[in-house]
Structure 1
Amino acid sequence: MRRLSCVRTRPALGKIAAGGDHTCAARVNGTVWCWGDNTWGQVGTGVAGGVQTTPRRVPGLTGVTDVAAGDRSTCAVAEAARRVWCWGSDADGQLGDGGGTPATVPAPVPVTLPAGTGVFQRVTIGRAHACAHTDTPDVWCWGADGSGQLGNGPAGPATAPQRIGDLGIGVDAGGDSTCTTSAPVTCWGDNSSGQLGTGDRTDRDVPTVGALGELRGSPFVEAVFGWTGPLLSGVAVGDDHACAVDATSGAYCWGSGADGRLGTGGTADSDVPVLTRLLPGPATGVTARPAAGALDVGWERPSETGAASLATQLAVAIAPDGLTASCDPFASAAPTAANSCTVRDLTGGRRYAVTVGVGNAAGVTFSELAYGTPRPGGGGGSLPITGAGLSAYLLLAAVLVAAGTGVIVLVSRSGPRRRRA
């Protein structure tokens, strides 16, 4: 009989944050560990000064779910009550405890919200200000306000949280600016390099909706759900540039382009979002020629392949009720670079929207929509992706994996609803 033995493993990291000259990590067991420069007490060991060259646990904090590090301070969301605790420099009120504490606080102090205003979910820190969002979901900010980075108008710096408004759950602070993923990108604060994405270089002291620039939604999502705007899943703010990720169309950046930080292949600044060269460009010239129970789909490959070579091309036909079928010229045993394939098993006389997904190792870009109506015949009516017997009341996520690229296809239970962002 084989003998089994157990090995005790250390708890994994749940979140890591790098500040100006220090680093902190939250483990999945709810503890926080910090290391690096401790001039301002930002390592949180209870003593300010010197450096901490190895990770050391921050005492007194349990149940930590998020941690953020700024230039000279650190904050964490901790305990069942979801309070924010901060430590380090409080020269600009960035610890948020409202108590007029000394400039250096080497141990965590609580950030308190007014009663009935929700509990904290996430915290983020810029150069000398901090913001957090609650479960309501409201955004609250505190600390320095020299460029309007708190978003509370001309009120100036604050040593306690100030409610900025219901701006969604994706908030990030960097330098002297702050952005959220609402509407679709809303920013405020320093705009000296165009990092607010508003199309100009004027600072804002209240949340301001940015320009769309090259930011666009996905034709696939439009065809299935009727949503024509971007679907941002996250935003990150640096000292003088910012980037956002759209769940369906790639990564976008704006602000200073020095050192190539916008990812466009150059170093020019942009005061509106521009598409990074991560994903391939979209296929163009998409056609959908009728066949018996099928559509013969053709397209032109993009000249821009993104950060890696093309790994897949996928044509998707979308019915008015949201059900889909597809064909992939790369899926055969001997993949070809053909820019055409036939989507079969469609219903004759029914109009389909068609989009082509072109992917590399980083993801997939979908083309603009084309339309086609199959001729009767050909045994149409079954749907090879969704399955002919699938109830129309289910929401199906079918993950198509081709050459290492995941394509998530969402199938709705009802027809598209025209909704504008």
Structure 2
Amino acid sequence: MYGQLGDGTSDSRSSPVLVPGVTEVKTVAAGESFSLALREDGTVMSWGRNLYRQLGHGDPGNINIPPAQVEELTGVVAVSAGANHALALREDGTVWAWGDNSYGQVAGEFDWMLQFVPGQVPGLSGVTAVAAGLSHSLALREDGTVWAWGSSSNGQLGNGTTGRFQNIPEQVPGLTDVVAISSRGWHSLALRADGTVWTWGHDILSQVGSGALHLVPVQVPGLTGVAISAGSGHSLVLSGDGTAVGWGANRQGALGNGESNLHLTPARTLLPCRFTGMPSWEHRASARGQSQASP
């Protein structure tokens, strides 16, 4: 509808199409109606809807914008796309953001307005991973702490507050030894080095796992994993044996368990998942001989 497929049309597709002019891609990220591609040379390409200037390359158009390089951004090692804003992690451990800043999710001295091109998020260094939610943002630092900024309308910041907006990152209390983070809608997940999974935020669809709003991180009971992923209304965890479990909304079969009913607690999927080798954070921990790791 908005050109987020990058094929020069606004048509929906039921089969994959090639995005022209985007090559040597390392990883990709999909926002609500725009797309990002991180290239091997550390530059970022974007295309799709640009109403909130989430493409970061100054194009004055609003929809069906063809792929173009995000301005003033090099040395990028990871990207994350929120609803209408984007985050980039550079190799020096700094975080850069652009797009909609209505709730402070882009951060910095941007006057809560649209950020047309990437700007550095203040007060963050030594970052190893980023995650963009609907209207908030997360950063994982190499010391295993998690930092959040943006909207806390549903407890997304994990600091015990609601109805608060903040444009400066603050540490999420009670979380240490974190190795991975994930956020999509109004809730977030954190994976600790011991394999335990922690979650907080909006839980109207039980995506946090209890049916109640959580203003601070809580452990998902009886569950350990090696990878996590937060959807807009559900959550998934990959176990070390290659199986996956999920909980939350399931109306379109998002949990993969052959049912369509909401799940308050983790439910195992029908099919095993496969992964090759250890996650990158385990490799790094092994190489350093440390118990704490970072993705």
With structure 2 as the length reference, what TM-score do the two structures score? 0.80
Alignment of 1:70-85 (within 5 A): 70-78=82-90, 80-85=91-96
The answer on whether the counterparts of 1:170 and 1:233 sit within 8 Å (CA) in structure 2 is no
Structure 1 residue 247: Cα displacement:
2.1
User: Which residue matches 1:20?
Assistant: 32
Q: In the alignment, residue 55 of structure 1 is paired with which amino acid?
A: P
* Secondary structure, counterpart of 2:161 in structure 1: helix
* Letter paired with 1:129: H
234, 244, 249: which one aligns with 1:251: 244
Q: CA deviation at 1:12?
A: 2.0
Secondary structure in 2 aligned to 1:153? coil
Instruction: Name the aligned partner's letter for residue 89 of structure 1.
Output: D
From 250, 262, 268, the counterpart of 1:275 = 268
Q: By how many angstroms is 1:102 displaced?
A: 4.3
Output the amino acid matched with 1:74.
Answer: A
User: Residue type matched to 2:159 in 1?
Assistant: N
- 2:106 match: 95
Post-superposition shift, 1:47?
4.3
Say which of 136, 151, 169 aligns to 1:161. 169
Question: Structure 1, residues 23-71: CA drift from partner, whole Å, max 9, x if none?
Answer: 0011111000000000010000124541243210012111100001111
Q: Could you tell me which amino acid in structure 1 is paired with residue 80 of structure 2?
A: A
**Structure 1 residue runs without a partner (length 5+):** 1-9, 216-229, 280-361, 365-396, 398-421
Q: Does the aligned pair in 2 maintain the 1:131–1:142 contact within 8 Å?
A: yes
Correspondent of 1:151 among 158, 163, 177: 158
| 1:327-342 equivalences in 2 (<5 Å) | none
Counterparts of 2:23 and 2:29, CA distance in 1: 17
Task: Note the C-alpha offset of 1:77.
Answer: 0.5
Q: 1:124 aligns with which of 125, 131, 134?
A: 131
Measured in 2, the distance between the counterparts of 1:48 and 1:71 equals 19
SS at match of 2:255: coil
How far is 1:121 from its partner? 1.0
**Which protein is bigger by CA-based radius of gyration?**
1
Q: Map Cα deviations across residues 264-298 of structure 1 (whole Å, 9 max, x no partner).
A: 0010111111110012xxxxxxxxxxxxxxxxxxx
Q: How has the CA–CA distance of structure 1 residues 194 and 110 changed in structure 2, closer, same or farther, with 3 Å as cutoff?
A: same
- Return the alpha-carbon distance in structure 2 between the equivalents of residues 50 and 185 of structure 1: 39
Say if 2:50 and 2:65, in contact at 8 Å, map to a contact too.
no
Cα contact 1:151–1:206 (8 A) shared by 2: yes
1:25 & 1:233 partners in 2: Cα distance?
A: 25
Contact residue 183 and residue 230 of structure 2 kept, 8 A: yes
Cα offset, 1:11, TM superposition: 5.6
Selected match of 1:240 from 233, 239, 242: 233
Q: How far, CA to CA, are the matches of 1:112 and 1:102 in structure 2?
A: 14
> What is the Cα deviation at residue 100 of structure 1?
4.5
**C-alpha displacement at 1:157, in angstroms?**
2.2
Deviations along 1:60-89, one digit per CA (max 9) or x if unpaired, are 1111000011111111002x4221100001
Q: Which letter maps to 1:251? A: A
Matches within 5 A, 1:166-245: 166-182=176-192, 184-197=196-209, 200-212=210-222, 215=223, 230=224, 232-245=225-238
Q: Percent identity?
A: 28
**In structure 2, what is the Cα distance between the partners aligned to 1:154 and 1:168?**
22
Residue of 109, 116, 121 corresponding to 1:111: 121
Q: Equivalent residue for 1:309?
A: none
C-alpha distance in 1 between matches for 2:77 and 2:226: 19
Query: What's the secondary structure of 1:170's corresponding residue?
Result: strand
Q: Which has the higher contact order (CA 8 A, sep 6+)?
A: 2
TM-score, structure 1 as length reference = 0.57
Please tell me whether the aligned partners of residues 104 and 112 of structure 2 are also in contact (alpha carbons under 8 angstroms).
Answer: no
Answer yes or no: is the 8 Å Cα contact 1:40–1:48 preserved in 2: no
Distance 2:123 2:239 in 1: 32
For residues 106 and 176 of structure 1, what CA distance do their matches in structure 2 show? 24
